[in-house]
Structure 1
């Protein structure tokens, strides 16, 4: 049984069928923390029995939180309310043989990017110079360092809490000589790496289009830019075409020849709203 069905079934048992229908159909597990989303019309107190039931049914879960706001702000985090179990927001999250200390209240973490983390790592060639413009707690960067053989991964984030966790995680995974955490605005920091990168990651859809020219600046004469973008469209099948056209036109305006070698819809993030990824191969004219 998937986690969404599990959550709905449990909510039917503990709350009511009506309340279960109103719940967001996704139970997110990060380390030993479970996260559920709160619909506006449901009070936090009503969800506490559900939190206790989750602890009873899933013994590996030690803490249950409710996300009460959408992702927002410069640091891309939600507001959370604790409803059951240990009152802590930090945990150790495991992915692809790596360990990550994270704090759900201070840094953005999404298990939904699990496949993308390893997919990108497998594309990295020996001795590549990689720049991750929006690194968070270091998941993309560290998984690349552990599963590929890059020369260096410059790992940038503007969030000081994410930076501290990234520094910790680099040591935890013993990749100090490869992953270099950098605190700052990627748009400003990346000018220090002009013409140095073989591959650039832009896993922040809200800023990808704005910062894309900066990424082009940091590329060598040719290289890859992995762009994560949001697309609003009536048809899911049109999302990739829309995103590809947008970035190919932007590249052309920058006098750079780019094409999407690969594109996929990563996930649906709302009604007729999709997160997509484009693997852009760029050649500077």
Structure 2
């Protein structure tokens, strides 16, 4: 089968293989090809440019023919029913109500070589800072890790600051809309997955990253250093208050606080320069995916004597039965 791959000198092969494995880019279902002094490492998908920037040494993105990896162990070989789980750095998360959690954890660690810890969630995201509690099922007893995403690295303690890898594609989509020289306000920045990815695109982009959780801001500042981005300003504070310091300067305003973003719409409008874009996230019912949220945005703009034009409305993911996580993008005039 012909597929995208990384062509790399054998001397650099193991180092790049490890990075590809960490960011779930290495296709373990295909056999790595060795020809002369080079290796061909098969990929699960086409990599982003910022991911390629994170690969060490010499390499080339190309295509090649690969044979199927015979005998590759899969979770289906070990478990009758494979539960939903997600991997953040070297930690796998499963739900607390998964039957036989120890068996599931053992299977995950056998199949996912990069996983060192399996945690079970002890409840939903809760509280002002959107945190969760966990219990260790297998491996190292820890809740902190370094997660790689699109070439960026994030230090995270999962019990002290919220993070989900399920929005990686969404973050990349917004990244593509930000242009050189623009100003971005990330109103609920957390540990920095939107802010840092955008800042890495160009040193001429200015990112104002705000969060109320002091732990999240500590991690954000650590991640700014970890990714060597000097164009992110990390601010601990309430976005409703901090917005007053940056009135009318933002070209993009990111509102990724789905359950409560509506409480900050007046502040978001205040941040907007003429022609700026608000990226507004919400949790909505299936019979009213967008209209109620659009009404709230229009009302906030009207209070400030401004108007909006709809750019896009989209379902990001299913959130719960009959509920969706949606993104609404509007231009503020």
TM-score interval, normalised by the smaller of the two chains: 0.7 to 0.9
Counterpart in 2 of 1:15? none
Offset at 1:37? 1.0
Which residue number in structure 2 is paired with residue 180 of structure 1? 233
CA distance 1:254–1:34, change in 2 (3 Å): same
Q: Indicate if the aligned counterparts of 1:248 and 1:259 stay in contact, CA closer than 8 A.
A: no
2:309/2:332 contact within 8 Å kept: yes
Q: Which consecutive unaligned segments of at least 5 residues does structure 2 have?
A: 1-28, 30-73
Check whether the contact 2:75–2:107 (CA below 8 A) recurs between aligned residues. Answer: no
Change (3 A) 1:221 1:140: same
* Cα deviation 1:184-211 (Å, max 9, x = unaligned): 1111111111122121111111221110
State the distance in 1 between where 2:321 and 2:76 align.
20
Partner of 2:93: 35
For the Cα contact (< 8 Å) 2:75–2:111, is it kept in 1?
A: no
Superposition pairs of residues 198-209 of structure 1, within 5 angstroms: 198-209=251-262
Whether the 8 Å contact between 1:27 and 1:35 is mirrored in structure 2 is yes
State which of 180, 200, 214 in structure 1 corresponds to 2:267.
214
Equivalents in 1 of 2:251, 2:203: separation in Å? 13
Per-residue deviation, 1:79: 1.4
CA 1:163 to 1:256, structure 2 compared with 1: closer, same or farther past 3 Å? Answer: same
Distance in structure 2 (CA, Å) of the matches to 1:222 and 1:98: 29
Kept in 2, the 8 Å contact 1:67–1:81? The answer is: yes
Task: Name the structure 2 match of 1:137.
Answer: 191
Does the aligned pair in 2 maintain the 1:128–1:151 contact within 8 Å? yes
Normalising by structure 2, what TM-score? 0.73
Q: Which residue in 2 is equivalent to 1:261?
A: 311
Greater shift in the superposed pair: 99-108 or 136-145: 99-108
Question: What is aligned with 1:125?
Answer: 179
The aligned residue for residue 12 of structure 2 is none
CA RMSD in angstroms, aligned pairs only: 2.2
Q: CA deviation at 1:146?
A: 1.1
What is the SS of the residue equivalent to 1:75? coil
CA deviation after TM superposition for structure 1 residue 7, in Å: 6.2
CA distance in 1, matches of 2:169, 2:158: 20
Larger radius of gyration: 2
* Aligned counterpart, 2:152: 98
Aligned residue for 2:307, secondary structure, equals strand
In structure 1, what is the equivalent of residue 50 of structure 2?
A: none
SS in structure 2 opposite 1:123? coil
Tell me which residue corresponds to 2:297.
247
Unaligned stretches of 5+ residues in structure 1: 13-19
For 2:169, which of 108, 115, 137 is the aligned residue? 115
User: Whole-Å Cα distance in 2 between the matches of residues 121 and 264 of structure 1?
Assistant: 16
TM-score by length of 1: 0.85
CA contact (8 A) 2:86 2:93 kept: yes
Match of 1:197 among 250, 259, 274: 250
Structure 1 contact 125–149 (Cα < 8 Å) conserved: no
Alignment of 1:23-102 (within 5 A): 25-39=83-97, 46-102=100-156
Q: State how far apart, in whole Å, the 1-side matches of 2:124 and 2:204 are.
A: 35
* Structure 1 range deviating more: 158-167 or 238-247: 238-247
Deviation at 1:118, TM superposition (A): 1.1
C-alpha separation in 2, matches of 1:104 and 1:95: 16
Higher helix share: 1
Deviation string 1:251-284 (CA, Å, 9 cap, x unpaired) is 335432112201210000100100011111011x
